[in-house]
């Protein structure tokens, strides 16, 4: 299964495409959609939307896994990320690709086995799972890989739930 992982943001949106089959995964590509800090915010959203549409067309994923919004202390940043997630989700729906959303704790649990794992622990385990010499940069791309891996490890239980009608 080709899974596109997305770590949403408005300055940097991390993206990663993996191929996952029966407990193994391979990184196909990763990177980031970036927008300039000084650019008008609505123009940044257009860039994110258009780049996401192009990425979905190029990579043709069978599923998209995206991190749910986490509200920290900076509400202004959270609102911007929420708007970015909105245009990303719109592009995914328009492409007709199933989308699955995961909380940060779910990603940590799926990748490390511990819901309170540190960012470093998640990145190190991601590198080990994919047998990479170094973890891709920027960190947002590495986070997108972890989100894709989370879906790869969770998808069998999601499929089982769908079959049972839960």
Please say if 67 is a catalytic residue.
yes
Question: 42-50 — which CB contacts under 8 Å span 24+ positions?
Answer: 44/10, 44/11, 44/84, 45/10, 45/83, 45/84, 45/87, 48/10, 48/13, 48/84, 48/87, 48/88, 49/87, 49/88, 49/90, 49/91
Catalytic position from the list 19, 40, 50, 67: 67
Please say if 7 is a catalytic residue.
yes
Catalytic position from the list 57, 101, 140, 143: 140
Say which DSSP state 73 is in.
S
140, 145, 107: which is closest to 126 by C-alpha? 145
Tokens of 45: 């959203």
Tell me the catalytic residues. 7, 67, 140
């Amino acid at each position: 299964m080709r899974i596109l992982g997305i770590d949403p943001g408005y300055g940097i949106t991390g993206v990663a495409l993996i191929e996952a089959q029966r407990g193994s995964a391979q990184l196909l590509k990763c990177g980031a959609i970036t927008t300039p800090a000084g650019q008008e915010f609505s123009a940044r959203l257009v860039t994110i939307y258009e780049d996401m549409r192009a990425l979905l067309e190029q990579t043709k994923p069978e599923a998209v896994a995206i991190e749910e919004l986490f509200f920290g202390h900076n509400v202004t940043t959270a609102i911007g990320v929420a708007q970015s997630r909105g245009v990303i989700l719109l592009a995914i729906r328009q492409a007709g690709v199933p989308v699955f959303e995961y909380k940060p704790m779910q990603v940590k649990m799926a990748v490390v086995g511990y819901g309170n794992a540190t960012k470093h622990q998640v990145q190190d385990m991601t590198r080990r799972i994919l047998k990479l010499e170094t973890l891709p940069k920027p960190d947002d791309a590495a986070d997108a890989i972890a989100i894709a891996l989370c879906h790869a490890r969770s998808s069998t239980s999601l499929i089982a739930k769908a079959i049972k009608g839960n």
